[in-house]
Structures are given as structure tokens and as C-alpha cells.
């Protein structure tokens, strides 16, 4: 046992002899990703961490802490020390859809300080290539004529896909999409797209990045994108073209947040890093390939954007009685 004590003493001596750094960051920073490896959030967060690598004096370690549609990882950040060493890739699902839908969520938006939103993903609605549904209007009409037969797939309750399907149908005149259309939750985003491909579900509304390869391969046909501008590779009208500009609030996004009470110094430092990272050509190229738009919003704009999206989703959830108690 005495050797163990000796070992302890030795190693502590080594650790203490390293020069102390006063400024943030003086140790590696954990960047929690509340969704699984290979998903949109994961790729975005890892691309960001890679871009930040040479610019940050300490390593940024992306950590996947998955479960409960992003709630497990997000809640763990909400409960962490606001010292700037535990940050989270905030995402549309975990930070607006989930809080809007679930009363039982172990966190609220107030538990976070947002550094910035840095990326926007357009949302697209699509059907299988051999489907006879050729437009959003046809789709809505089909739902109204035969309630309970048309289904849409999602990556689970409280995901962007879940609310997007309902919101799109509603703005095209389906009075109660929760009753009239079938919501088919799958175990993940990839499975949700596969379900449409295989004919298990009739349509899907999700981030354009999740659909782009299927669209390019002619396996899925897009019906609509929800941005003001057309999305490259998607031969489909925008929601503005279709006279539904209100659907523009239906976009995916990623941002950086930390537990509420972050010191100003931390937020400022992160802002600086993000400003540099979004200039990084490698980062831009990666985001581009995934069909994301790099768009670093100011702190005020970010918070306003998130709150506005939350408010719109919350209203929809209340009207349609989609609340999960």
C-alpha cells in the first residue's frame, strides 16, 4: 500500500509542477452531443470541434451522450457546473421541439446560456419516387379525404420530424393532423427516411441534409422546402412560393450553449472561436456538403430566434393537443 501512496505523491507532484494557466480555458472542454454518432448533430459538432482544434489552446472533446431523444445528454449539461468546461451542441430537437412538447422534460430553456446559433438546416418534405402524391396540396387533400390512412415517419416523439409533419399538413389545410394522419415513430432519422423509401410511411418532413442523397439518387421526390430561397439539389417549390411563408420558422439549427450562469468571459471567448471557425474553409465545405447553411447569429439574435421558434411550436402543440404529460 505504501507504494500506492508513493505513486500518488509522485504523480501529484508532476501534475502540480505544470504551470498554472489563469485564463479560460485551462483544461480540456467537453462538448456534449446529445444525439448518436453519425447523425446531423454529431457531424456538425465534430466538424466544429475539428475546425476549432488549431484555434483553441485546449482540446475540445466531443462526447456523445445519447438517449431519450436528446434529453439525457441535454439534461446532464443543464445540471453541470457553469464553468465553461461542459458545453452542449444545442439543436432544434433538444432545445425547441422537445421543451415545447414535453412537460416532463428534466430541463427548460432557462437552464441554458446560449453562445450562438451557427448553422441552419432547411427542412424539406418528400415522398417516395413512385408515389402518386405530386404536391403538398395533393398530400393535404389525400389526408382530408381518407383520414387515418396517410402516415409520416419521424425519429421519435418530440423530434423535429414529428412536429414538422404536423405543421406542414396543418398549414395546407388539414384541420387536425394529429387525428387525420398517422405519426409513425422510428428509432432514428435514418430509419425514418428508410420507412418512406420502403413504402412503410407515405411522407417525411426533415432536414434537407438527411434527404439529399435520396433525392439525388431519384429514390425520394421532394414536395417542398421551407426556406425563402430554393435549396440546391431540391427540385421543389419553397414554402414562400406555395404561399405559406409561416413555414419558414420550421428549420433545423445547431448552436452552442452551456449551463445557465456561464461567466461572460466564457461566452466572449466562445464567440471569438466561433467567428474564426465559421471562416474556416474546411468547416464551410463540410457543412456545405451536408446541405447546411453556415450562419453565425449574434447572441441576441440567437436567443430571439430560439425563443420565437419555441413560441411557434408551443402554440401549435397547444392547438393540436400534442402535449406529452
Partner 1 sequence: MSAPRTDFWIGVGVVALGSALALVAVPEGVVSPRNVRIAVLSPAFWPNILAWVVALMGLVLALQSLRPAKTPDEPHEAAGAMPRHGLLRLLALGVGSIAFCAFATKLGLVWASMIAFAVVLLLTGTSYRIAAVVVAILLPLALYAFFAHVAAVPIPQGIFVRLP
Partner 2 sequence: MSFLDSAAAGFALVAHWESVFYLAMGVLVGVIAGAVPGVSATMAVALALPFTFALEPIYGILLLLGVYKGGIFGGSIPAILIKTPGTPASSATTLDGYPMAERGEAGRALGMALYASCIADLISNLSLILLAGWLASFALSFGPPEFFTLILFSLTIIAGVSGESLVKGLIAAASGLLLATVGLDLVYGTDRFSFGDPNLMGGLNFIAVLIGLFALPEIIDFVFRPKEEHHQARQLGGRWATLADVRRCLRSIIRGSFIGVFLGAIPGIGGAPAAFLSYAEAQRNSPNRDNFGKGEIEGVAAAEAGNNGVCGATLIPLLSLGIPGDVITAIIIGAFMIHGLQPGPMLFVTHAHMVYALFMGLILSSFLLFAIGSVAIRAFRFVADVPKSLLAPSVLVLCVFGTYAVNNTIFDVAVMFAMGWLGYLMRVLKIPAAPFLIGFILGPLLENSFRQAMLMSGGSPEIFVRGPITWTFWALTALALYLIVARLRQSWRAET
How far is the C-alpha of 26 from the C-alpha of 23, rounded, in Å? 7
Pick the binder of partner 1 from 23, 54, 57, 104 (CB under 8 A). Answer: 104
- Residue window 194-213: x/- pattern of binding to partner 2, with contact defined by CB under 8 A: xx-xxxx-----------xx
157 near partner 2, rule: CB under 8 A? yes
Residue whose CB is less far from partner 1, 28 or 243: 28
Binding residues for partner 1 restricted to 1-20, rule: CB under 8 A: 1, 3-4, 7-8, 11-12, 14-16, 18
How far is the C-alpha of 279 from the C-alpha of 109, rounded, in Å? 29
219 near partner 2, rule: CB under 8 A? yes
In whole angstroms, the minimum distance from the beta carbon of 17 to partner 2 comes to 26
Q: Give yes or no for a contact between 40 and 85, defined as CB atoms under 8 angstroms apart.
A: no
DSSP 42-84: HHHHHHHHHHHGGGSSS-EEEEE---GGGHHHHHHHHTS-SSS
Look at the alpha carbons of 266, 267, 272, 276 in this order and tell me if their dihedral is positive or negative. Answer: positive
22 near partner 1, rule: CB under 8 A? no
In whole angstroms, the minimum distance from the beta carbon of 157 to partner 2 comes to 3
187 near partner 1, rule: CB under 8 A? no
How far is the C-alpha of 273 from the C-alpha of 188, rounded, in Å? 31
In whole angstroms, the minimum distance from the beta carbon of 98 to partner 1 comes to 16
Cis peptide before 325 (omega within 30 of 0): no
Residue whose CB is less far from partner 1, 103 or 264: 103
How far is the C-alpha of 276 from the C-alpha of 164, rounded, in Å? 32
Binding residues for partner 2 restricted to 248-287, rule: CB under 8 A: 282, 286
DSSP 224-254: EE-SSSPPTT--S-BTTTTT-GGGGG--EEE
| H-only helix segments in 53-185 | 71-78, 92, 98-101, 136-145, 160-171, 177-180
In whole angstroms, the minimum distance from the beta carbon of 206 to partner 1 comes to 24
Residue whose CB is less far from partner 1, 156 or 222: 156
3-state class (DSSP) for residue 198: coil
Binding residues for partner 2 restricted to 63-122, rule: CB under 8 A: 63-69, 71-72, 75-76, 101-102, 104, 106-107
Residue whose CB is less far from partner 2, 267 or 316: 316
Cβ contacts of residue 120 below 8 Å, gap of 6+? 251, 252, 253, 292, 293, 295
- Residue window 41-80: x/- pattern of binding to partner 1, with contact defined by CB under 8 A: ------------------x-xxx-----------------
> Measured between alpha carbons, how far is residue 88 from residues 24, 31, 91, 101, 130 in Å?
17, 5, 9, 21, 40
294 near partner 2, rule: CB under 8 A? no
How far is the C-alpha of 190 from the C-alpha of 167, rounded, in Å? 21
Residues that bind partner 2 (CB under 8 A): 30, 36-39, 42-43, 46, 50, 63-69, 71-72, 75-76, 101-102, 104, 106-107, 148, 151, 156-158, 182-188, 190-191, 193-195, 197-200, 212-214, 216-219, 282, 286, 289-290, 324-325
Residues that bind partner 1 (CB under 8 A): 1, 3-4, 7-8, 11-12, 14-16, 18, 27-28, 30, 59, 61-63, 104, 321, 324-325
Amino acid at each position: 500500500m505504501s507504494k500506492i501512496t508513493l505513486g500518488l505523491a509522485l504523480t501529484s507532484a508532476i501534475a502540480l509542477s505544470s504551470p498554472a494557466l489563469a485564463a479560460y480555458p485551462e483544461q480540456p472542454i467537453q462538448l456534449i452531443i446529445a444525439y448518436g454518432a453519425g447523425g446531423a448533430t454529431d457531424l456538425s459538432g465534430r466538424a466544429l470541434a475539428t475546425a476549432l482544434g488549431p484555434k483553441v489552446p485546449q482540446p475540445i472533446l466531443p462526447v456523445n451522450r445519447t438517449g431519450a431523444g436528446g434529453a439525457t445528454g441535454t439534461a446532464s449539461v443543464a445540471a453541470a457546473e457553469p464553468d465553461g468546461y461542459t458545453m452542449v451542441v444545442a439543436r432544434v430537437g433538444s432545445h425547441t421541439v422537445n421543451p415545447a412538447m414535453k412537460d416532463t422534460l428534466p430541463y427548460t430553456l432557462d437552464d441554458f446560456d446560449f453562445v450562438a446559433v451557427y448553422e441552419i438546416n432547411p427542412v424539406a418534405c418528400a415522398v417516395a419516387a413512385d408515389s402518386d402524391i405530386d404536391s403538398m396540396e395533393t398530400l393535404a387533400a389525400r389526408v382530408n379525404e381518407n383520414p387515418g390512412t396517410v402516415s409520416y415517419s419521424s425519429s421519435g416523439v418530440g423530434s423535429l420530424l414529428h412536429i414538422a409533419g404536423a405543421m406542414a399538413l396543418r398549414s395546407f389545410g388539414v384541420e387536425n393532423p394529429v387525428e387525420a394522419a398517422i405519426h409513425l415513430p422510428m428509432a432514428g432519422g435514418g430509419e425514418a427516411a428508410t420507412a418512406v423509401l420502403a413504402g412503410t410511411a407515405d411522407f417525411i418532413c426533415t432536414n434537407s441534409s438527411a434527404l439529399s442523397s435520396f433525392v439525388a439518387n431519384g429514390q425520394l421526390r421532394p414536395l417542398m422546402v421551407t426556406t425563402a430561397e430554393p435549396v440546391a439539389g431540391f427540385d421543389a417549390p419553397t414554402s414562400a412560393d406555395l404561399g405559406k411563408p409561416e413555414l419558414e420558422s420550421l428549420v433545423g439549427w445547431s448552436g452552442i450553449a452551456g449551463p445557465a450562469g456561464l461567466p461572460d468571459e466564457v461566452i466572449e471567448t466562445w464567440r471569438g472561436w466561433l467567428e474564426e471557425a465559421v471562416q474556416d474553409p474546411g468547416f464551410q465545405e463540410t457543412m456545405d456538403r451536408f446541405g447546411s447553411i453556415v450562419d453565425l447569429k449574434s447572441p441576441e439574435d440567437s436567443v430571439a430566434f430560439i425563443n420565437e421558434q419555441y413560441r411557434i411550436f408551443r402554440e401549435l402543440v397547444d392547438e393540436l393537443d400534442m402535449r406529452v404529460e
